[in-house]
Structure 1
C-alpha cells in the first residue's frame, strides 16, 4: 500500500478545485451555443460536461500519484461524475449531471446516519487528525453534518428542478462551496467546547491504534 505523502497545500487545492473552476469558465463561454455533432445538436452545457469528465479524472489521478492517497469522497465524486456526466452526454440530457450533487450528499448523509445509529462517528475516522475532539464533540458534529448533507441534497433538487441551468451552475460552483465553508465556521463553539488538549488527543489516538 502506498504511503500517504503531503504536497504543497496550494497545489492540492488547485487540483481539487481547478476542474470546477474550469467547468464554470467553459460554461460561461459556451452556454449560449449549439454544436452539431454526428447530426445531433448539443447545448454548450453538454459539451462542457463531456470535457469535465476527463479533467476530473486526470486531477484525481494526479492527486493519487502525488499523495499516494485518495479520500472516499474524492473517489466517489470521480465515479459519480463519470457515470452521471456520461449519461448526460450519451442521452443528451443535462438532468443526470444535475442530479449528481444530490446523490453525493444523500450517500454521505446516509453513511453518517448509519454510523450514528450504531453509536459511532464515522466522520471521526476521516477528520480526527485535523480536529481532535472528545467523543461527545464528534457525535454532535456528525449529527449536524448528517442533517446538513440532507439539506444540501434537498436544496440541489429544488434549484435544478425550478431554476435555469445558469442559476444551477452558479449554485453548484459557489453556493455549495460557501455553504460548506459557512457550516464549519459556525461550529466554532463546538470545536472550543469539545477540543482535546494535546496530551489527551495523543492518548485517544494511542487507544484507537491499540484497539
Structure 2
C-alpha cells in the first residue's frame, strides 16, 4: 500500500515538474514563432506578454513563483521594453547575458559568504552534504558564466533569426546536458534519507 502511495506521489511530482517546464518554456516558444512570422519587435512584445502570463500561471498552478523565473521576467520586461521603446534589438539580445551574469554573481557571492544558495532553492528536491551543495553551487555559477559568454558570442556572430533559434533550441539542450552531467555529484554527496521517506 505504501509503495502504491510512493508511486502515486512520484507520478504527481513528475507531472508537476513537466507542467512547470511547459509553463516556463512557453514564452520562449512564443518568441521564436512570432519572430519567425513578424520579426524581432513583435516577437519581443509578445515575449514580454507571454512571460508575464507564465508568471501568473506559475502562481496559480504551483502557489508560488520561483526566484529564477522571477529575475528572468524582470530583465525581460526591462530590456524588452527598451527594445520596443528605442526600436533597438540589441537590448533583448543582451537579456540572456545579463540574467546569467546575475545568477552567477549571486551564486559566487553566496559562496564568498560561505552560503550555498542552491540549497535554499533545491533543498526540498535534493538532500546533499554541505560539500555537495558547495560544489554544485560553484559548478552552476561557472555554467552561468559560460552561458553569458556563449550568448555574447552568439548575438555578435549570428543573424537575429539565427540568434533567436539558438536561444530557443540551443541553450535549453545545453542546460539540460549540463544538469544531467551533475547526477554523479548528486549521488556522491547525497545524504542518506530515513527509511520510508
TM-score by length of 1: 0.81
**Residue of structure 2 equivalent to 1:57:** 52
Equivalent residues in 2 for 1:101-140 (5 A)? Answer: 101-140=96-135
Look up the SS of the partner of 1:198 in the other structure: coil
Look up the SS of the partner of 1:129 in the other structure: coil
1:195 aligns with 2:190: yes
1:39-61 Cα shifts (integer Å, max 9, x gaps): xxxxx211111121111101211
Q: Distance between the aligned counterparts of 2:94 and 2:72, measured in 1?
A: 13
Q: Distance between the aligned counterparts of 1:126 and 1:95, measured in 2?
A: 31
Q: Distance between the aligned counterparts of 1:97 and 1:135, measured in 2?
A: 37
Count matched residues: 183
Which one of the candidate residues 28, 35, 53 is aligned to 1:27?
A: 35
Look up the SS of the partner of 1:93 in the other structure: coil
1:68 Cα deviation after fit = 2.0
Look up the SS of the partner of 1:145 in the other structure: helix
**Residue of structure 1 equivalent to 2:22:** 14
Which one of the candidate residues 164, 170, 191 is aligned to 2:165?
A: 170
**Residue of structure 2 equivalent to 1:88:** 83
**Residue of structure 2 equivalent to 1:180:** 175
Q: Considering fraction of residues, name the structure with more helix.
A: 2
Q: Distance between the aligned counterparts of 1:147 and 1:16, measured in 2?
A: 23
After superposition, the CA RMSD in angstroms is 1.7
Moved over 3 A (4+): 6-11
1:97 Cα deviation after fit = 0.3
Q: Distance between the aligned counterparts of 2:17 and 2:140, measured in 1?
A: 24
Look up the SS of the partner of 2:169 in the other structure: helix
1:124-171 Cα shifts (integer Å, max 9, x gaps): 110111111111111111111111101110110111012211221121
**Residue of structure 2 equivalent to 1:39:** none
Q: Does the CA-based 8 Å contact 2:30-2:43 persist in structure 1?
A: no
Consecutive unaligned residues of structure 2, counting only runs of 5 or more, are 1-12
Look up the SS of the partner of 2:194 in the other structure: helix
Q: Distance between the aligned counterparts of 2:147 and 2:16, measured in 1?
A: 30
1:82-123 Cα shifts (integer Å, max 9, x gaps): 110010011000000000000000000000001111112011
Q: Distance between the aligned counterparts of 1:121 and 1:103, measured in 2?
A: 21
Which one of the candidate residues 150, 155, 162 is aligned to 1:155?
A: 150
Q: 1:188 to 1:68 in 2, by over 3 A?
A: closer
Look up the SS of the partner of 1:189 in the other structure: helix
